[in-house]
Amino acid sequence: MPLHRLLRLSPTAVLGLWHRTETAAALGALLPAGAPYAALLPPTAGSERQGQWLAGRVLAHAAAAALWPGAPGLLVRNDAATGRPYLEGPGVPASAVVSLSHSGEWAAALLATGGQVGVDVELVRDKARRISTKFLAADELAAAQRVGTDAYFTLLWSAKETLYKLAERRGLIFKEQLLLEPFTPASAGEIPMVLRLAEGQSRHRICYSQPAAGYVLTHCWEPGAPTATP
């Protein structure tokens, strides 16, 4: 069972990582609510996409068991309008929040009782570099080009994805509203960021690490809503 890690960020928040080696059928057998999930599985997804989708839900159940041992009826659903995952079922706190991500062989999940969560795992590729002008502001792009590696561009994309999930706002413009502040890249650390909304801006710190060679992981859990400033 390749549950790679469950990291308790606090008494009310757990970050999980799953290294996927199983087939989609094997992952489906690990879910306690197999029949409901079979109906929720994206019908047009191929075997690889199905495996990623199922791994995220198996991981969410493992993290939930650590947070809420009395919630055997947990079900992970997706909001029809936004696609964001949410939790329901007996024993699940009304304030429960969840963020899921998958890429390549890895799945990540961040669950908490209250607050805001965001998580993203990415396979390092040249894609983030190729689309960098679409998601990086001019000063961010200049700084990224000085570093120049695919891993760095992928990290910046992942950090913005995590903040986007944390914000829970549709239609945000990555290069204008999800802004990076200067930081010194390392194998693990924090990236300071600013979220700009119509009602003001707020500051956030996105944690990052390398779960395996060729991958980056970013996450953020905030127990209370940040105060926006004009």
Mean pLDDT by 10 residues, the chain (230 residues): 89 96 92 79 85 94 89 82 88 93 97 97 98 98 96 98 95 97 96 95 97 97 72
Looking at residue 229, the DSSP 8-state letter turns out to be B
Closest CA to 209 of 23, 5, 1, 3: 5
Closest CA to 7 of 16, 121, 67, 108: 16
Q: Is 49 annotated as a binding residue?
A: yes
pLDDT on residue 197: 95
pLDDT on residue 226: 58
Q: Is 160 annotated as a binding residue?
A: no
Q: What is the pTM of this model?
A: 0.94
Alpha helices, DSSP H, located in 68-186: 127-130, 132-135, 138-147, 150-167, 174-177
How far CA 98 is from CA of 94, 161, 187, in Å, comes to 12, 15, 26
Q: Is 161 annotated as a binding residue?
A: yes
Q: Is 57 annotated as a binding residue?
A: yes
Closest CA to 162 of 129, 209, 199, 126: 209
Instruction: Answer for the pair 228, 175: CB distance below 8 angstroms, yes or no.
Output: no
Structure tokens at 130: 């190729």
pLDDT on residue 62: 93
Half-sphere exposure in the Cβ direction for 217 (13 Å, CA):
24
Rounded Cα–Cα distance for residues 208 and 159 (Å) = 8
Q: Is 140 annotated as a binding residue?
A: no
> Which domains does the chain possess?
3-114 (3.90.470.20), 120-222 (3.90.470.20)
Q: Is 102 annotated as a binding residue?
A: yes
